Amino acid sequence: MKEKKGLLFDIQSYSVHDGPGCRTICFFSGCPLQCEWCANPEGWTYKEKLMFAQSKCKHSKGCTRCITACPHGAIQFDNGKIFIDRNFCSSCKTFDCTKVCYHEALKVCGKWYTPAELMKILARDRQYWGKNGGVTFSGGEPFMQKDFLLEMLKLCKEKYIHKAIETTAYTNSHDFLQIMDYIDFAFIDIKHMDREKHKEKTGVYNDLILKNIEQLAHSSWKGRLVLRMPVIRSFNDTDENIHKLIKFMKRLELFEINILPFHRLGDSKWNQLGKVYPYKDEAPTPAEKLNAIQDLFLNNDIACYIAHDTSF
Mean pLDDT of 287-312: 95
Residue 183: inside a domain, yes or no?
yes
**148 and 137 together in one domain:** yes
**66 and 89 together in one domain:** yes
Contact 27, 9 (CB under 8 A): yes
Which of residues 109, 132, 157 is at a domain's end?
109
Residue 235: inside a domain, yes or no?
yes
**140 and 281 together in one domain:** yes
Domain residues for the domain of 162 are 6-45+111-306
**67 and 176 together in one domain:** no
Q: How many whole angstroms separate alpha carbon 311 and alpha carbon 259?
A: 13
Residue 1: inside a domain, yes or no?
no
**142 and 191 together in one domain:** yes
**pLDDT value at position 91?**
85
User: DSSP letters of 169-206?
Assistant: --S-HHHHHHHHTT-SEEEEE---SSHHHHHHHHSS-S
Contact 274, 86 (CB under 8 A): yes
Q: Is 283 helix (H, G, I), strand (E, B) or coil?
A: coil
Mean pLDDT of 166-185: 98
**130 and 263 together in one domain:** yes
**pLDDT value at position 141?**
98
Query: What is the value of pTM for the model shown?
Result: 0.95
User: What is the CATH number for 65?
Assistant: 3.30.70
| pLDDT, tens only, 25-61 | 999 999 999 999 999 999 999 999 999 999 999 988 8
**92 and 26 together in one domain:** no
**209 and 220 together in one domain:** yes
Q: How many whole angstroms separate alpha carbon 151 and alpha carbon 174?
A: 16
| pLDDT, tens only, 52-108 | 999 999 988 889 999 999 999 999 888 777 889 998 888 898 999 999 999 999 999
- Sequence letter at residue 62: G
**39 and 102 together in one domain:** no
Q: How many whole angstroms separate alpha carbon 146 and alpha carbon 142?
A: 7
**22 and 158 together in one domain:** yes
Q: Is 62 helix (H, G, I), strand (E, B) or coil?
A: coil
**187 and 286 together in one domain:** yes
Residues 6+ apart with CB under 8 A from 223: 180, 183, 184, 185, 186
* pLDDT score of 2 more than 70: no
Q: How many folded domains does the chain comprise?
A: 2
Residue 288: inside a domain, yes or no?
yes
Residue 74: inside a domain, yes or no?
yes
**56 and 119 together in one domain:** no
Which of residues 81, 109, 137 is at a domain's end?
109
Contact 176, 210 (CB under 8 A): no
Residue 311: inside a domain, yes or no?
no
Residue 312: inside a domain, yes or no?
no
* pLDDT score of 3 more than 80: no
Mean pLDDT of 106-121: 97
